[in-house]
Amino acid sequence: MTAPPDSAVLPAAPDLATAVGAWLRHLAAERKMSAHTIEAYGRDVRQFLAFLAERFGAPPSVRDFVDCAPGDLRAFLARRRAEGIEGRSLQRALSALRSLSRAIARETGETASALGAIRAPKAARRLPRPLSPPDARAVTTTEPRAGEARDPWILARDAAVLALCYGAGLRISEALGLRRADAPVGAVEAVTVVGKGRKTRSAPIIAPVSAAVEAYLALCPWALEADGPLFVGAKGGPLSPRIVQLAMERMRGALGLPDSATPHALRHSFATHLLARGGDLRTIQDLLGHASLSTTQVYTGVDSARLLAAYRAAHPRT
């Protein structure tokens, strides 16, 4: 759980510092938000309160926060924009402030009306950058790293995690959250994973993914407990996501892939390649665990961009 900031760190009067701390605890305990999201929300609020402290000449109180004017918010967003902060991050900051405002309203009945008068900044919509099918298949094997001075079981482990990202569309956290008892091997045709917002879904497992996990288990030197993690680090403890990211970096070097080739890009590749082969959006939405179809629809833009690029490259009049 994220530790709430105290008044010595947070640029706020004691009553507002207490309210922020209670809000952060609520996000962790009740809303089940990830530690990363809570950290980002806390940082956004801290930056806004520092702005108000500078603007008002004193650390803001709950009353100051509730009474802030639309002009205060616009000035804050304008400053952040001038500092090079993109629209997506500004949207998140506004979302964090609105979340804090709702928490304060629940306790005091006071509402920061200015937050309702501000429209969220527009963010440029960035299309996911999937790998090509051959490259995606290559990073889920051990061959590109065959020359590394690493134990074979380590290479097999990394390949198995990446195979789950591409072959089942899992996030790293979802793959690393699997228990040994849930290993997708043998007759197991699906795994249950816990995604964002603590939502569970069933992810089908195809034969190459199952084979990659079996290869890892056959080589793993550690006795894995049924209720323990499926994937472990070099010393037998839980595997860190950073290790998987570093493995992908080595894959990029071996295969000459761009920096956009990350473990999460394999999840994008999973969705894009399914769509290109005729998969429907609703099914892909369920497989990815997206709460909204609009989130999944971004992959139609990827496929359209690919088709347009092929058209322009091949048409004799272009």
Nearest in space to 45 (alpha carbons), one of 95, 120, 103, 83: 95
pLDDT score for 211: 95
Give me the mean pLDDT over the 183-194 stretch.
89
Query: CA–CA separation, 135 vs 182, rounded Å?
Result: 28
Output the average pLDDT for the chain: 85
Q: What share of the chain in percent tops pLDDT 70?
A: 86
Report the catalytic residues.
171, 196, 264, 267, 290, 299
Q: Quick one: pLDDT band at residue 311, thresholds 50, 70, 90? A: very low
Tokens 């272009």, located at residue:
318
pLDDT score for 8: 42
Q: Which residues contact 122 (CB under 8 A, 6 or more apart)?
A: 87
Enter the DSSP assignment of 122.
Answer: P
Indicate the class that CATH gives domain 133-314.
Answer: mainly alpha
Per-domain residue ranges of the chain: 14-116, 133-314
For 248-266, the pLDDT digits (tens) are 999 988 899 888 888 988 9
Q: Quick one: pLDDT band at residue 113, thresholds 50, 70, 90? A: confident
For 43-101, the pLDDT digits (tens) are 999 999 999 999 989 999 999 999 999 999 999 989 988 888 888 888 899 999 999 99
Residue 127 pLDDT exceeds 90: no
Give me the mean pLDDT over the 232-261 stretch.
91
- Residue 15: count of CB within 10 angstroms of its CB: 17
Q: 210-213 — which CB contacts under 8 Å span 24+ positions?
A: 210/184, 210/185, 210/186, 212/140, 212/141, 212/156, 212/159, 212/160, 212/163, 212/164, 212/167, 213/160, 213/163, 213/164, 213/183, 213/184, 213/185
Distances, alpha carbon 117 to alpha carbons 69, 154, 309, in Å: 9, 54, 41
- Topology at the third CATH level for domain 14-116: DNA polymerase; domain 1 (1.10.150)
